[in-house]
Amino acid sequence: MNKALLISLLFLLSVAINAQTDKKYIRKGNREYGKSKFSESEISYRKASDNNKQSPDAVFNTGDALYKQNKFEDAGKQFTENANQNEDKDKKSAGLYNLGNSLLKANKVQESIDAYKSSLKLRPDSKEAKYNLGYAQDLLKQQQQDKDKQDKNKDKKKEDKNKDKKKQDQDKDKNKDDQNKDKKDQNDKNKDQQKDQQQQQGISKDDAQRLLNAIANDEKKVQEKVKLAKAAKAKIRTVKNW
């Protein structure tokens, strides 16, 4: 037998055996998936994928099993790989559709929109892709509106905070001015009191003696007037009418 022909036959046999093993693991994974044993089905699908590196179906199913376990980012990687591997237009579109779902669940809304659009380019009649695309677009619009509202509220809070700070600074300055005024008034009052005290002290020292002297002089004059009055009275009494 021709050596080259023998090698070709052996290669085809190996491919056939690998294909059978690949399908065996996929069938096993499908049974586990049907029983909601998503973790076990993921392992089976990965075995199929490891056995046949060019098995888009195994990669796709692995993505499905991961999606059911809420491992959305890991699932998205599998669907991306599936879309890159697949030549079949419908299967490629399905992979991109599931990629969109995974991205949407991972809250990567804009990326999910891109995936849905890519899926619809391959299958424009897909109602599911159209519906999910519309939903994602509405969600993105709502998120943008919420973000704008949050930014507006944030700016308002910042503005209010600046107003409060300005008012606090003004109140602080006013209190400082009031304190300075009170201090000045108290200083002026203290000066007036010191001046009054000095004036009182000046009277007691300088004018007290003069005041006493004046009182003494007035008293002396009063005494003299009393004496004169007494003398006059005495003369009147001594006058006789002959």
State how far the Cα of 121 lies from the Cα of 24, in Å rounded to an integer: 33
Q: What is the pLDDT of residue 120?
A: 97
Task: Mark out the alpha helices in the chain (DSSP H runs).
Answer: 3-34, 38-51, 56-68, 72-85, 89-105, 109-122, 127-202, 208-238
pLDDT at 11: 37
18's CB contacts (< 8 A; 6+ apart) are 51, 52
pLDDT of residue 198: 58
Per-residue pLDDT, 98: 98
pLDDT in tens, 110-158: 999 999 999 999 999 999 999 999 999 999 999 999 999 999 898 888 8
Give the pLDDT confidence score for residue 190 in this predicted structure.
80
Report long-range pairs for 41-47 (Cβ below 8 Å, ≥24 apart).
Answer: 41/65, 42/66, 42/69
Measure Cα distances from 54 to 51, 87, 148, 237 in Å: 9, 11, 46, 165
In angstroms, rounded to a whole number, what is the distance separating the alpha carbons of residues 127 and 132? 9
pLDDT of residue 220 exceeding 80, the answer is no
Residue 99: CB atoms within 10 A of its CB come to 27
Distance CA(161)–CA(166), nearest Å, equals 9
Q: Which of 26-40, 43-57, 173-187, 223-237 has the lowest mean pLDDT?
A: 223-237
Q: Determine the Cα–Cα distance for residues 158 and 147; give it in Å rounded to an integer.
A: 16
Position 7 scores a pLDDT of 40
Enter the tokens of residue 138.
Answer: 């509405």
Q: What share of the chain in percent tops pLDDT 90?
A: 50
Between 97 and 235, residue with greater pLDDT: 97
Confidence of residue 197 (pLDDT cuts 50, 70, 90): low
d(CA 53, CA 118): 25
Model confidence pTM above 0.75: no
Q: What is the average pLDDT score of the chain?
A: 83
Statement: residue 214 has pLDDT above 70? yes
pLDDT value at 6 more than 50: no
Q: Is the pLDDT score of 26 beyond 60?
A: yes
Distances (CA, A) of 134 to 104, 114, 140, 156: 12, 12, 10, 33
Question: Residue 52: phi, psi to the nearest 5?
Answer: -135, 100
pLDDT of residue 196: 64
Q: How many residues does the chain have?
A: 242
C-alpha–C-alpha distance, residues 162 and 77, integer Å: 47
The four Cα atoms 204, 207, 209, 210 give a dihedral, to 10 degrees, of -160
pLDDT band at residue 4 under the 50/70/90 scheme: very low
The tens digit of pLDDT for each residue in 37-49 reads 999 999 999 999 9
Residue bearing tokens 């299967």: 91
Closest to 26 in 3D by CA, of 1, 48, 4: 48
